[in-house]
Amino acid sequence: MNTTPSDTRSGKDSSGISFTALYTGAVWHRHGLSNDLLATDQGRWLYHLMTPFEAGSKALIGGNIRTFLLQRHLIIDHLIEQALNRGVTQVLEIACGMSPRGIRLHDKHPLLHMVEADLPDMATRKAASLLVAGRLGDNHQVIPIDILAESGEQSLEVVVKRAFDNNKPMVVVTEGLTSYFSLPVITEFWRRLARVMQQRPGSVYLSESYLMPEHPLLRGTLKSLGGLLGAVTRSDVSFHFLNDQQAAEQFTTCGFPSVAVHNPVDFYGRLPIPESRNDPMVRVIEVWS
């Protein structure tokens, strides 16, 4: 994820929290999900730096960032495949960062129209990596987007209209994006996305959310960590919901008529995802137009 409220209003700089994209990319690469094209020295360094913290987190709460990253990523992949099996042929991944999803999907589905999008700096970096390897073409593009822009070439509405067949449904993915915004800010994006999807019946939106735990000590610890991450990334790191019902109700009020909140537990034994000792903090949100 590479987007912050302060930076995306101008759409000029994604450097504020680009290290989170590099770390996430390193996790995917370490677990065999990514391509060497997307591996970075910075990501490998961050992976080793975070290892002691990840071990402590797993001991304390039964899961850690790496666990949740892998859970959400593989569940989202599974839900994308379900949509493609229903006949959807277009995918937009917003805040693509160093995500390997575009490469994997295009290798498996050569006729898929895959568009990856991020703030200009990260989009340029990603496009350069893929272009060198001959990965880009009419059916696989990387373009800039600013989810807070309400008009202009980088706004959600213009990107979708320009890059896709607007008579067909699409899958929209935001992985590792929404928690870096306060609920009021990201809610406005969700409302705009709902309107875009309503114009393309059969479209699917996939994202993730982290639930704030009820245990007071753990809640306080996570709030402190979120504040620290927010300060470093110049963003408003937020836990938006306390439970699945709150999450579902929020998306319904944003204009999505059908909402499913997926707990990774429901995919244990069905998908090759790591298991948390306790109830996972992460949820995958699936909504339909």
How far is CA 1 from each of CA 28, 104, 173, 217, rounded to the nearest angstrom? 13, 18, 12, 28
List all residues 6 or more positions away from 128 whose beta carbon is below 8 Å from its beta carbon.
none
Please enumerate, as own/partner, the contacts of 251-255 that have beta carbons within 8 Å and a separation of 24 or more: 251/190, 251/285, 251/287, 254/187, 254/190, 254/191, 254/194, 255/190, 255/191, 255/194, 255/195, 255/198
Strand partners, 277: none
d(CA 237, CA 254): 21
Please give the average per-residue pLDDT across 64-77, as a whole number.
Answer: 91
> CA dihedral in degrees (261, 266, 269, 272; nearest 10)?
20
Residue range 154-195, pLDDT digits in tens: 999 999 999 999 999 999 999 999 988 999 999 999 999 999
CA 217 to chain centroid: 28
> pLDDT over 90 for what percent of the chain?
58
d(CA 203, CA 256): 11
Return the higher-pLDDT residue of 233 and 14: 233
Please give the average per-residue pLDDT across 57-83, as a whole number.
Answer: 85
Give the pLDDT confidence score for residue 165 in this predicted structure: 96
* pLDDT over 90 at 149, yes or no: yes
Residue range 252-264, pLDDT digits in tens: 999 999 999 999 9
Give the pLDDT confidence score for residue 54 in this predicted structure: 65
* pLDDT over 50 at 220, yes or no: no
CB 198 within 8 A of CB 115: no
Give the pLDDT confidence score for residue 59 in this predicted structure: 59
Give the pLDDT confidence score for residue 188 in this predicted structure: 97
Tell me the pLDDT band of 236, cut-offs 50, 70 and 90: low
Kindly write down the DSSP assignment for every residue of the chain, as one continuous string.
----HHHHTTT---GGGHHHHHHHHHHHHHTT-S-GGG--HHHHHHHHHHHHHHHHHHHHHS--HHHHHHHHHHHHHHHHHHHHHTT--EEEEET-TT-SHHHHHHHH-TT-EEEEEE-HHHHHHHHHHHHHTT--BTTEEEEE--TT-SSSTTSHHHHHHHHS-TTS--EEEE-S-GGGS-HHHHHHHHHHHHHHHHTSTT-EEEEEEEBPPS-HHHHHHHHHHHHHHHHHHTS-----BSSHHHHHHHHHHTT-SEEEEE-GGGGBTTB-----SS--SEEEEEEE-
Tell me the pLDDT band of 89, cut-offs 50, 70 and 90: very high
Angle CA(271)–CA(277)–CA(280) in degrees, nearest 5? 65
Give the pLDDT confidence score for residue 138 in this predicted structure: 92
Tell me the pLDDT band of 12, cut-offs 50, 70 and 90: very low
Please, what CATH class does the domain formed by 5-288 belong to?
alpha beta
Please give the average per-residue pLDDT across 64-91, as a whole number.
Answer: 94
> pLDDT over 70 for what percent of the chain?
80
Residue range 95-124, pLDDT digits in tens: 998 899 999 999 999 999 999 999 998 899
